[in-house]
Amino acid sequence: MDGMLQPPSATAFDAAASILSLLVYLGVALDAIRRAPGDPRARTFLVIALTGAVPYALSPLQWWKGNSVYTPAVIALTAVAFTIGGIALFHFTQVFPRRRPWIVRHAAWLAAAYVLIPPPVAVISWILASLLAPSVPPGADPMAATSIELGLLVLALIPVLIVVAVVLPLAGVMSLYRSWQEAKPDARAGDRAATLWMLISQLGGGVLAVLVIPMLHLVGIGPPWSLVIAALTYAFALLLPIAVAFYGINTSA
């Protein structure tokens, strides 16, 4: 049980791939902002890149210094980055390549998600991380003293996890699929290619992140399969900025 609560170890490949991914995301985002500073697609993708910088930076830090980098503050920051990034990714599917009807009708809901969800996530994650690594007398069982608090905190996080990790990604995939469908009769080749690459990125990366990687972590599978899965995960993630760079954000939404 204790091993499942520990973050997976980072390898040299993870460190190098994370740095490359970080540079690609930030490079594409900054180029998009340079080309179209007032475009909501460029601004939203910049948010995706900046929030993604937190987990991507953690891999080389963990490889360098070990799991000691995961302090309560860092865990809380990572949880908030994941939350905002998930909202921004859904937001991006509502404005790229063209504005979807949902965001026209429910823009206030999206704004509320940005404002209301991250603060409680930060507080709960900080407390949860602190409880998982408390100062206790030698020989004492830290989990015995905090089981009720941990249970309550996990229950409090479940609705947020369902929204950010399940509802928004699925809704985003459906929006991309609708955008891909609508680009076909209009012969918008750029839109169609971009949304197809993004669909592959989200579907492939989602299956690996939600199903495959947790199972590998649970059974403790080692190389070469762990390296293959890690490489595929980074490759699927990179399809998103590649699609943005391929299509370009330099026209009106």
Q: Which residues contact 134 (CB under 8 A, 6 or more apart)?
A: 142, 145, 146
Report the alpha-carbon distance of residue 88 to residue 85 in Å, rounded: 5
Q: Which of 59, 61, 109 is closest to 87 using CA atoms?
A: 109
CB 40 within 8 A of CB 95: yes
Dump pLDDT digits (tens) for 68-85.
888 989 999 999 999 999
- Residue 32 in this model has a pLDDT that exceeds 70: yes
- Residue 54 in this model has a pLDDT that exceeds 90: yes
The CATH classification number of 3-247 equals 1.20.1070
Poorest-confidence range of 82-91, 174-183, 209-218, 232-241?
209-218
Domain ranges of the chain: 3-247
Report the alpha-carbon distance of residue 137 to residue 141 in Å, rounded: 9
Sign of CA dihedral 34, 91, 82, 230: negative
Distance of CA 60 to the CA centre of its chain: 17
Mean pLDDT of the 198-208 span = 82
CB 32 within 8 A of CB 249: yes
Report the alpha-carbon distance of residue 90 to residue 199 in Å, rounded: 12
